[in-house]
Structure 1
Amino acid sequence: MARPPDAPRPAVCAVILAGGLSSRMAGPLKPLLPLAGRTPLARLADTFRQAGVERIAVAGGHRGDEVAAEAARLGLHFVNNPHYQRGMFSTVTTALAAVAGLWPHCRRLLLTPADVPLFRPATVARLLDRAEESDAPPVLYPAFAGQRGHPPCLDAGLIPAILDYAGDGGLRAALDPFPFEELPVPDSLTLADMDTPDDYAALAALAKRADCPSPAEAEALLAIQAVPPQGLAHARGVAAVAVALARSQNAAGAGLDLELTEAAALLHDVAKGRPHHEAEGGRLLERLGFSRAAAIVAAHRDLELPADAPITEREIVYLADKFVHGSRLVSVAERFGQKLTLFAHDPEATAAITRRRQNALAVLNRVTKALSRPLAEVLAQTGLPWEGRL
């Protein structure tokens, strides 16, 4: 049985580093800036708790009273670093020394600066699940698109070696002698850092879309799921059609989210090969924190669109899938005609396919009427070859 995402992990603790000067922010204190209604400290506390981590410490220094007050409000332990001006590594060592005393039974440690506040609970859970395996190395890094991000996950047995390290290069150099693994995650927010006002503005925008995967995150998830080449070609073909349809709708005033449309289209078959793959794909995305895409993927096989309901990203991805057979364009009528021929011997299957065809043609009619250009021109923009005729 799979572990519930928020099942307690009593042998794990987390440290949020919040002792920096915030010098490039020209005044505001980074750990306390609002991000979609919550401070970075609050977001990180929620993220760790949603992954089952309850033992959380905040290490502060600069304007420590303010950071300590927020930590207290959130029910977090506060550790003061009186030597914060010596740099982040001094805050790391102060925090680790405190953790060793606070939680002597801690076996795994998560460490992140408050500057990187948006990574998702599923990323933490993936790191900790890997850490529980017998062959896990003492150092685990989440990696997106080949780049290490936060939070690293450390064997607590490394704490004495880190405290004894006296060289240059900070924590990264202190960890260099130890075996490590870069664990791929579909989470670009592991890299989203906040050093300048421009960074803060970018993170504030990202915080509002944390429940929506980017196309790059979708591609990363397809790689993690080991989707075969033919599946990738189909996913990208459906994404090309979905984006073309959505752009044409937007040119007529629809206001569809192009990034969500593309990402959900890429992921529509992420669970292909499993029973009820559309529902299973939706559940997978929900677990990863991609709730907006999850609802689209879960509905991509069949849906009914009431006459008074608007066309959304869900209908666009659903219809785009009907236009692509393999990686080639095919008409909706022909796509269902192929299935009817294949199951002609099975009356029950034929009836179900006929019903789904009627639903698809109804959505096609609604979408076609709302396009800014003829359907044939919109599909031609994808550059995909035709298997038959429109």
Structure 2
Amino acid sequence: MSNNRQYTAEFRSEAVKQVLERGFTVVDVAARIGIPKHTLYGWVQAAKKAAPAASPAVASDSAEVRRLKAELKRVTEERDILKKGRRVLCQGVKAKYAFMRAHAREFRLVAMCRVLGVQRSGYYAWVRHGTSVREREDQRLLGLIKHHWLASGGVYGYRKITLDLREAGETCSRHRVRRLMQAEGLRAQVGYGRKPRHRGGPVGVVANVLNREFAPKAPNRVWVTDITYIRTYEGWLFLAAVMDLYSRQIVGWATAPTMTSDLVLQALVAAAWRRKPGPGVLVHSDQGCQFTSSDWQSFLKAHRMVPSMIRRGNCHDNAVAESFFSVLKKERIKRRIYPNRATAASDVFDYIEMFYNPIRRHGSAGGVSPVEFEWRYAQSGN
């Protein structure tokens, strides 16, 4: 197999970006990601030849850029209005007006009118005239309803609340009480739902062979894998990673806009291409449908890998993989939202291949990077 076939197109593209866009030298990048420097040099030259001629630079304050920024601002504001005002979308006009007045300092009035489907003139008229007698009476009655509902321990519905109000001398219909309770989110306490029954695990589930033995004696003995998600304005980007438990090195990973079995297979194929393990390597995962699929099981069997899965509902059985995703999000992603999936995938490459594997010190690896830890193992002659 040639060198170019050992690496995915995504891997080659991201490696070239480190040289052409981030300013790293070919020697430095090749040393960090563990490939021959002449191979990376060939990728860079091929990318330069395939690159189209550079177009004239466009000023950042051009009309098109300003239009796109304004469109993004508008869409973001409408999204936030919908998130906070979803409860009033199906309610009356006055409920929408009340929401608009409560959020007047947070959102523009014209944007709220557009999203909620009301007129500004109607809102101004409502503000000028204030609340009606009926609304003030509803507020008074709602206070009595809350009192009786709390006095019942939160178990009464609108029928029994209506009886309590009538005994206290109020004249109101049960339909009015129901409307006010629904708008305030007050409900009767109902009986238990159906008791869940365990119907057995999904097809393809295997035993927990690893059994939390997270300290193998050599590389390529135990791999753990899992999936996480990254937020972008295009939608979710899913990341599947395969880790060697000995050094905590990420030996394979892949990204995709959907969480399918093909995603985890790409990560495992990348790990197999990079490491070329012998038969018997243990691959530990959760019981997700991606890892119980026939394609996943067939790949493990064809490459003489041993499957292992966590117990149902026990995330601690795969704690090391979960820990890596936690570190990735704390150190790089945090609460950031990427503009698109390509940018997110490029940042993941930069973190894993340029920092985490070759540089980042790891406590379980003796305070050195995963690559350095495996190099010391190889030098010891074990």
TM over 0.5: no
What TM-score, normalized to structure 1?
Answer: 0.23
What TM-score, normalized to structure 2?
Answer: 0.24
